[in-house]
Amino acid sequence: MNSNKKFEDEIQFTELVKSPLRLFGWVYLLFIGVLLVTGIYFVKNLDSINYNESPQTLNDSLGLYEDKPLIKGGVMPSMDLGLIKNPTDELIAKGKEQYNTLCATCHGTNGDGEGIAGAALNPKPRNFLKMEGWTFGTKFIDLYKTLQEGIIKNGMSAYEYLPPEERTGIIHYVRTFADYPEITDQEVEQIDETYKISSGVTKPNQIPVAKAIKIISEETDDLVNKLNAEDYSNDPGAILLDKYSRAPQNVMLAVIENGVPNTLDEFIKSITSQPDSFGLKSSIIRLPREDHEVIYKFLKNINSKYSS
């Protein structure tokens, strides 16, 4: 009888200690189990697992913009020029109210430039308590210019929509924060000459840029539909334009918007010197003057028909 035992009724753990290689076959099962557990964990955490920690990035501020508000135009009321040199208590009180509403969040309630909204601004909002470092200056007309035009590079908005008297009230309230330069009669005359505040200012309507783009786009689409509805198949000028331009319709749209030169010679000089800028093929420079004239008359007709 063969005394070698191939099978055992139960595991002899003492023998495993003496001969660990007997467990080698279980390594494969262990490896597969580890892979399975790792794979399940990885799949469930795909959204959060990363191997490199990248620094926090900020959005490009050039890609962010604030659209213009919709403002109804009209005539801003005139104001008494005497209020510039001799403001009333009522005017200063109204200026304080406007300042607290429009300016205090950045410049601070006491004008020190430490407003809540100004904490994240760079450069910091103007400190009205200090007289140095002003972009336009500290004279009354300089402050009025700031409210009229704004200072884009410093993040200062324009308040040209405010009536002159309200802007004057804000400026006089700001002047209470420190010792500002005295207002002269010559300065008052200069302010009125520049901004016409004693005669009233006509302010045009203002619409948001997005709305303006939409209107222009709709007008262009309407014009394109009109051009498509026309039959130019028998017009010699249209035939030549189709042959010597990359997109005849774009050339016609440009002509409607920008017009055509007053003379044929000017037209030939412009299209032959830079044909690509007009959407024309460079081969157009080899056309005889007679063919240039045919194209010129066609485009001039298009301009007179649709540009009005």
Closest Cα to residue 252, out of 233, 234, 270, 226? 226
**Both tokens assigned to 32:** 């597969």
pLDDT by 10s per residue, the chain, length 308 = 455 555 555 556 666 666 666 666 667 778 888 888 888 887 777 666 555 555 545 455 455 456 666 766 667 788 999 999 999 999 999 999 999 999 999 999 999 999 888 877 888 899 999 999 999 999 999 999 999 999 988 888 888 888 899 999 999 999 999 999 999 999 999 999 998 888 877 777 777 888 888 888 888 888 888 888 888 889 999 999 999 998 888 888 888 888 888 999 999 998 888 888 888 998 999 999 999 999 999 999 998 888 76
DSSP one-letter code for 206: B
pLDDT at residue 111, rounded to an integer: 94
pLDDT at residue 9, rounded to an integer: 56
**Looking at the DSSP assignment, which residues form a beta bridge with residue 203?**
74
The Cα–Cα gap between 294 and 161 comes to 51
Chain centroid to CA 241: 37
Closest Cα to residue 188, out of 148, 149, 147, 140? 140
The Cα–Cα gap between 124 and 154 comes to 8
pLDDT at residue 199, rounded to an integer: 85
**Residue 53, phi-psi category: left (phi > 0), alpha (psi -120 to 50), beta (remainder):** beta
The Cα–Cα gap between 76 and 163 comes to 6
pLDDT at residue 122, rounded to an integer: 83
The Cα–Cα gap between 28 and 17 comes to 20
Between the alpha carbon of residue 41 and those of residues 22, 31, 35, the distances in Å are 31, 16, 10
The Cα–Cα gap between 41 and 148 comes to 61
pLDDT at residue 51, rounded to an integer: 52
**Both tokens assigned to 271:** 């299209």
The Cα–Cα gap between 74 and 204 comes to 6
DSSP 159-203: -TTS-HHHHHHHHHHHTTSS-PPPPPHHHHHHHHHHH-TTT-EEE
pLDDT at residue 128, rounded to an integer: 95
